[in-house]
Amino acid sequence: MFNKQTIKDIKFKGKTVLVRVDYNVPLKDGKITSDLRIKASLPTLEYLISGGAKKIILISHLGRPEGTKVSELSLKPVAGALANLVSVPVTFISDVSGPDVEEGIKKAPKGSIVLLENLRFWPGEEKNSSDFAREIVESVNADFFVQDGFAVIHRAHASTDAITRELPSVAGLLVEKEVSVLSSAISNPKKPVLVIIGGAKVEDKQPLIDKFLPIADKIYVGGKIASDGYKPNSEKIVVAADFKTDSEGNKLDISDSDTEKLLELVAGAKTIVWNGVLGKVEDKPFDEASLKLAEAIGVRDDLTSVICGGDTAGYVENLIETRPELKYSLVSTGGGASLELLSGLELPGLEALEDK
Ligand code: 3PG
């Protein structure tokens, strides 16, 4: 199923490994409000640490500073959060190439992690510049490149594409897991397959609906797309018909009877792909349908369940923090990346890695 080499295929003991992670975490007043993406990088980091990597150098972007230094988008706080989750020291360096990086890496203890500054402070990152990629590789003096930033793998940037022409490049464990589970949902799913679509932007979700039409047994459309009057083009597609409203008449969640119908579909499914919340989940009680759905999926252990899309994954991830009994096959870290993969588009950062 996964046809790229991974860190399990390389001998990295005693080597310096450059790892692209996606630490594009949500921030509020300088504080990280969800560490899902940091935690999701731990299996790869722990594998490299326990396998005896000499140094692990991490690169990532944060936000969209568009080639300039924006101090609020520094990765420094992320280094602090990471240090609390791993067993080795974490050093932060406020550059991505040049003498400070060379010196900082030399001084970092053997077996430790070094996180470099936000790649998007430099225009070369989004321009997919080979020079920018080469400067990073030469400064960190790495032996291998590992792509583990699943959420950014749909971008052709210096740290996802150009850099793979500078070093032998393989996938990390997060990329392997995300791509394997998401691909199996479209290529070899256990039947019946139920796809649940919510959220607001029909132009983002239509390619997903089109891709799943021949694969799914049912596609359920809720959320703002449904309340805005989505018109299905197939009998397989069920669209929520009634909605709960606020005092001004805004339709903010699907009705109880629509939720019941959806839960009946869930009970009969063996594969569920859920992308997009069903209501305005941040505004109680308009999270009710999404909550009931998350519970109905999470209690089943005979089901392949894929939760994807930034808002849906964030919602479910928050829920799991207080309800650890709820289990899902995959809560994807990728917003656009998972949508593009499921829609059948090529992912440049994946294509660029060494084949098996
Ligand atoms: C994401 O949050 O979806 C990824 O980190 C990619 O970020 P981008 O949409 O700014 O490229």
Per residue in 242-269, pLDDT tens? 999 999 999 999 999 999 999 999 999 9
pLDDT band at 34 (very low <50, low <70, confident <90, very high): confident
pLDDT of residue 36: 87
Q: Tell me, using a 6 A CB cutoff, whether residue 155 lines ligand 1.
A: yes
CA 124 from centroid of its chain's CA atoms:
23
The H or E element that residue 183 is part of is helix 173-187
How would residue 30 be classed by pLDDT, with cut points 50, 70 and 90? confident
Section 203-227 average pLDDT: 94
DSSP state of 162: G
User: Which tokens in the block code for residue 290?
Assistant: 């999404």
Report the pLDDT value the prediction gives residue 310, as an integer from 0 to 100.
78
pLDDT of residue 176: 98
Rounded CA separation 271/268 (Å): 9
| Domain 7-174 grouped into CATH 3.40.50.1260 | yes
Q: What confidence category does residue 204 fall into, taking pLDDT thresholds of 50, 70 and 90?
A: confident
pLDDT in tens, 280-313: 999 999 999 999 999 999 999 999 999 998 789 9
For ligand 1, whether the C-beta of 215 sits within 6 Å is no
Kindly report the protein residue whose alpha carbon is nearest to atom 11 of ligand 1.
152
From CA 334, how far away is CA 273, in angstroms rounded?
14
The predicted pLDDT at position 327 comes to 96
Q: Is the pLDDT of residue 104 over 80?
A: yes
User: Does the CB atom of residue 339 touch ligand 1 within 6 A?
Assistant: no
All structural domains of the chain with their residue ranges: 7-174, 189-342
The best mutation among 20, 21, 22 to test binding of ligand 1, ranked by most ligand atoms within 8 Å of the C-beta, falls on 22
**CA–CA gap between residue 104 and residue 97 (Å, rounded):** 11
Ligand 1 centroid to 173 CA: how many Å? 19
Write out the E strands in the chain. Answer: 16-20, 27-28, 31-32, 55-59, 90-93, 113-116, 144-147, 169-171, 193-197, 218-221, 237-239, 243-245, 251-254, 271-275, 304-308, 330-331
Q: Give residues with Cβ within 8 angstroms of 71, minimum separation 6.
A: none
Question: Of ligand 1's atoms, which has the minimum distance to the CA of residue 157?
Answer: 11
**DSSP-derived secondary structure for 193-220:** EEEEE-SS-HHHHHHHHHHHTTT-SEEE
pLDDT at 1 over 80: no
Beta carbons within 8 Å of 346's beta carbon, 6+ residues apart: none
| pTM: predicted TM-score of the whole model, two decimal places | 0.92
CATH for the stretch 189-342? 3.40.50.1260
Domains 7-174 and 189-342 share a fold: yes
